[in-house]
């Protein structure tokens, strides 16, 4: 009984602590607030309020607060450097352990079928392209705590190429891929590969998001043949490790790509062009390249993530479009070809 009472009091204390902040409002010039809370504590309370965080005990509160402060220090140290091309910032992942954060990664590296690799003729086309402005990209989605990034990358490229082939933008079902593509080697929330998703969609057309909605957990496959909407005809593995080849592929439509995203640079990314090697090239996350452009003379790829619009730059990240293979983005690009209706 005493233990239950102490936990309850701890929870009440945390709630009261947060409520006091919420009532006061976050104002760096508020002298009373500055006397009670350190600047880091104020940032943590702002974070709790903004993201609707709640912690069951005082111990968990303190644990999350320490994680937050550690991440905040990394963010400030990076942003204080001269000449950095990208910014880090506090987001919904700022109180997570590395293990918790990595649950959102789920790309399983595979050897590419060399018969699928295609060299694309370089083009002297536009210096910039953004498939979002052309109507070929659906809204930013959120995979939650399921390692289903590969399915979002795959549906994104299928959605884009279906728009270009059949003149209709339809949000497609990631959950169908999570539940039903094990025969192709995918493992649902434990990871998968975009090419394997394309192979599944060659055999079984995808249903819409509305007909087969996302759950964020592994579930029983329940395909309804009467609701099948978009079918893949084939897919292309783009010649790897060549920025011009990925640019050539992007001139044809959105492209599924794999990157390394397990470092703090990605966990806390807020904006700008990632243009250094600190994110690594050990592929663990599937995302969608939707265009390219330049920022201050630095060429970049526009990349759609699946962590919701409250991550990064409204759900997107810019990665340098050079042959340095930043974050591994040039390692395994691929895109589908769609059955025309």
pLDDT digits (tens, 9 = 90+) for 280-303: 999 999 999 999 999 888 899 999
Give residue 127's pLDDT: 87
Q: In the numeric block, which tokens belong to residue 133?
A: 């402005």
Torsions phi, psi for 147 (to 5 deg): -80, 55
Whether the pLDDT of residue 85 is over 90: the answer is yes
- At which residue do the structure tokens 């790829």 appear? 301
Q: In the numeric block, which tokens belong to residue 311?
A: 């991550």
Whether 78 is catalytic: no
Whether 325 is catalytic: no
Q: In the numeric block, which tokens belong to residue 266?
A: 């990605």
Round to whole Å and give the CA distance between 32 and 3. Answer: 34
| Element spanning 41, H or E | helix 39-51
Q: How far apart are the first and last CA of the chain?
A: 67
Contact 192, 150 (CB under 8 A): yes
- DSSP assignment of 154-170 equals HHHHHHHHHHHHHS---
Long-range contacts (CB closer than 8 Å, 24 or more residues apart) made by 112-115: 112/195, 112/237, 112/240, 112/332, 113/195, 113/237
CB count, 10 Å around CB of 323? 11
Name the pairing type of β-strands 117-118 and 129-130.
unpaired
Question: What is the pLDDT averaged over residues 311-334?
Answer: 98
For the chain, the C-alpha Rg in angstroms (whole number) is 22
Whether 149 is catalytic: yes
Long-range contacts (CB closer than 8 Å, 24 or more residues apart) made by 133-139: 135/163, 135/169, 136/160, 136/163, 136/164, 136/169, 136/253, 136/254, 136/290, 137/169, 137/254, 137/288, 137/290, 137/304, 138/169, 138/171, 139/171, 139/309
Contact 277, 329 (CB under 8 A): no
CB count, 10 Å around CB of 238? 26
Q: Which of 71, 91, 146, 149 is catalytic?
A: 149
- At which residue do the structure tokens 């705590």 appear? 145
Handedness of CA 49, 52, 56, 60 (dihedral sign): negative
Put simply, whether the predicted model's pTM sits higher than 0.85 gets the answer yes
Domains assigned to the chain: 2-82 (no CATH), 99-338 (3.90.70.10)
With cut-offs at 50, 70 and 90, classify the pLDDT of residue 110. Answer: confident
Q: Which of 162, 186, 264, 305 is catalytic?
A: 305
Give residue 5's pLDDT: 39
Residue 184: CB partners within 8 Å, gap ≥ 6? Answer: 196, 197, 199, 200
Helix (H, G, I), strand (E, B) or coil at 264: helix
Contact 157, 255 (CB under 8 A): yes
Name the pairing type of β-strands 285-295 and 117-118.
unpaired
Round to whole Å and give the CA distance between 134 and 289. Answer: 14
Contact 202, 177 (CB under 8 A): no
Whether the pLDDT of residue 138 is over 70: the answer is yes
Degrees to nearest 5, angle at CA 327 with 282 and 67: 80
Degrees to nearest 5, angle at CA 150 with 312 and 160: 80
Residue-wise pLDDT tens digits, 216-233? 999 999 999 999 999 999
Lowest mean pLDDT segment, chosen from 31-45, 121-135, 263-277 = 31-45
Give residue 34's pLDDT: 61
Residue-wise pLDDT tens digits, 153-207? 999 999 999 999 999 999 999 999 999 999 999 999 999 999 999 999 999 999 9
Residue-wise pLDDT tens digits, 61-72? 999 999 999 999
Q: Which of 180, 186, 275, 285 is catalytic?
A: 285
């Amino acid at each position: 009984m005493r233990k239950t009472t102490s936990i309850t009091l701890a929870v009440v204390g945390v709630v009261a602590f947060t409520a006091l902040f919420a009532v006061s409002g976050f104002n760096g010039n508020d002298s009373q607030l500055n006397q009670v809370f350190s600047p880091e504590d104020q940032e943590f309370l702002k974070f709790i309020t903004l993201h609707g965080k709640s912690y069951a005990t005082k111990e968990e509160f303190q644990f999350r607060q320490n994680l937050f402060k550690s991440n905040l220090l990394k963010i400030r140290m990076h942003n204080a450097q001269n000449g950095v091309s990208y910014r880090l910032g506090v987001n919904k992942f700022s109180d997570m352990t590395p293990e918790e954060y990595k649950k959102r990664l789920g790309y399983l590296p595979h050897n590419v079928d060399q018969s699928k690799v295609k060299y694309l003729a370089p083009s002297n086309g536009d210096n910039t392209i953004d498939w979002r402005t052309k109507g070929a990209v659906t809204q930013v989605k959120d995979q939650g705590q399921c390692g289903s990034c590969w399915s979002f990358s795959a549906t994104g490229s299928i959605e884009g190429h279906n728009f270009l082939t059949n003149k209709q933008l339809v949000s497609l079902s990631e959950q169908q891929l999570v539940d039903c593509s094990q025969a192709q080697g995918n493992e649902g929330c434990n990871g998968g590969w975009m090419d394997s998703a394309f192979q599944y969609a060659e055999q079984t057309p995808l249903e819409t998001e509305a007909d087969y909605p996302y759950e964020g957990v592994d579930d029983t496959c329940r395909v309804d043949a009467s609701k099948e909407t978009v079918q893949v005809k084939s897919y292309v593995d783009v010649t790897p490790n060549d920025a011009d080849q990925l640019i050539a592929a992007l001139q044809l439509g959105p492209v599924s790509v794999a990157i390394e995203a397990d470092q703090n640079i990605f966990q806390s990314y807020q904006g700008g062009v990632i243009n250094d090697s600190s994110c690594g090239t050990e592929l663990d996350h599937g995302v969608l390249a939707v265009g390219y452009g330049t920022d201050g003379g630095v060429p970049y790829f526009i990349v759609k993530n699946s962590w919701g619009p409250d991550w990064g730059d409204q759900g997107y990240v810019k990665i340098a479009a050079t042959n340095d293979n930043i974050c591994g983005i040039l390692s395994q690009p691929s895109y589908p070809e769609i059955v025309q209706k």
